Amino acid sequence: MDDRGLKDRHSAKWAVYPPDVLPAWVAEMDFPLAEPIKAALHDAVERDDAGYLGPDLFGVPDALAEFAERRLGWSVDPAQVVCATDVMVGAEESLKALTEPGAGVIVTPPVYPPFFHDVRRAGRKVVQVPLIDGDLDLEGLERAFAAGAQALLLCNPHNPLGRVWRRETLEAVADIAADHDAWVVSDEIHGPLVLEGEFTPFLTVSQRGVALTSASKAFNLAGLKLGMIVTAGGEARDRIATLPEDLHWRAGYFGAIAAEAAFRDGDEWLDGVLSTLDDNRRLLGELLASRLPQVGYVAPQASFLAWLDCRALGLGDDPGEAFLERGRVALSRGLDFGAQGAGHARLNIGTGPDVIEEAVSRMAAAPTR
């Protein structure tokens, strides 16, 4: 990986901070794009094919279904795939279709920051049921549903902890939701990036919900804008069918081209990324044990995001601020993931080992300056 090439990028990860800051924050990986994706995009440019996506998703639903069966053990009906601009637009629109205005929607902090914002943008009320020791609080979910919450916005696998929920846990969640005629909207964007354990798509344990997915995280295509809403039929399918057609027109045509190529021909590239991420999570553990042993770290079971407990460093509620100001390394602020993120920060390991080593080195210097 060419450091000069990374610094020449104009995406958010490399453009937001000054050049002397090492970015290890937003969920962009630094790896080169998969060659099949590059080829598909180049072909579209060469034929001057850059129009609207519209309602015709050409091969994307079929490619997703083949990928899901092959890689995730999940049978997806292509006819039950609806596109959206991205996964969080899909979450917002799904909540509008499945719940009543003003209804409570459960989130499980610390959790992906847009969960809080998009529930409110959907005109619903955020109901927090925090994780307990890194696991879902089933009794808390029961109480929240009993008190009137109509849906759970689930992060599966979990961001920022990188937890891969066990099948029996998701079965219990499904039973609790069903007992209260509630819904589960499952964000599964990190599903293809499982490093340890077995990913369980929510729709394999219940039809009372929708799954949100995309090629954007696994194949580093966030800027091309295409998310997908998947149902397993029944009432969920009927409700999602009422979503506005604008969801198609506002999605990215290049996003669809890239997603089809990724799902059909990206396995070899993805396998390489998974191997690298597996090495990187171990490397981070070794570096922290050597340079910052006070930092609590549990290697993520999925994805390229590491959740760091920095409370023992005495850097206050926002250790990321000290790392930035004193070490010139940018991490994601733990407080953005909810009050439970106080004293924490999120580090991106979707990069080369040299970048991870430099990030930890800069972090280690920050508390002493």
Tell me the C-alpha to C-alpha distance, in Å, between residue 125 and each of 4, 109, 132, 153.
Answer: 45, 15, 22, 12
Whole-number pLDDT of residue 196: 97
- Predicted confidence (pLDDT) per residue in 224-248, tens digit: 999 999 999 999 999 999 998 888 7
Confidence of residue 249 (pLDDT cuts 50, 70, 90): confident
Whole-number pLDDT of residue 3: 46
Q: Which residue's entry shows tokens 């060419």?
A: 2
Whole-number pLDDT of residue 256: 96
Residues 164, 167: Cα–Cα separation, whole Å: 9
Q: Is the pLDDT of residue 1 over 50?
A: no
Whether the CA torsion 254, 40, 30, 229 is positive or negative: it is positive
Whole-number pLDDT of residue 205: 98
Residues 59, 199: Cα–Cα separation, whole Å: 25
When mean pLDDT is compared across 54-63, 281-290, 358-367, the lowest value belongs to 54-63
Nearest to 359 by CA among 291, 274, 278: 291
Domains for the chain: give ranges and CATH numbers.
Answer: 3-30+268-368 (3.90.1150.10), 37-265 (3.40.640.10)
Whole-number pLDDT of residue 6: 86
Q: Is the pLDDT of residue 252 over 60?
A: yes
Q: Is the pLDDT of residue 322 over 70?
A: yes
Kindly state the average pLDDT of the residues 174-195. 98
Q: Is the pLDDT of residue 369 over 90?
A: no
Whole-number pLDDT of residue 8: 86
Q: Where are the alpha helices (DSSP H) in 74-154?
A: 87-98, 114-121, 138-146
Pair of tokens at residue 117: 């914002």
Q: Is the pLDDT of residue 133 over 90?
A: yes
* 81 close to 230: Cβ distance less than 8 angstroms: yes
Q: Is the pLDDT of residue 304 over 60?
A: yes
Pair of tokens at residue 95: 């909540």
- Calculate the average pLDDT of the chain: 95
How many C-beta atoms lie closer than 10 Å to residue 289's C-beta?
11
Residues 209, 239: Cα–Cα separation, whole Å: 11
Nearest to 224 by CA among 3, 80, 33, 15: 33
Kindly state the average pLDDT of the residues 103-119. 98
Whole-number pLDDT of residue 368: 67
Whole-number pLDDT of residue 2: 43
Confidence of residue 7 (pLDDT cuts 50, 70, 90): confident
Amino acid at residue number 160 = P
The percentage of the chain sitting over the pLDDT mark of 90, rounded to a whole number, equals: 92
- Predicted confidence (pLDDT) per residue in 200-209, tens digit: 999 999 999 9
Residues 346, 330: Cα–Cα separation, whole Å: 10
Higher pLDDT, 4 or 160: 160
- Predicted confidence (pLDDT) per residue in 59-95, tens digit: 999 999 999 999 999 999 999 999 999 999 999 999 9
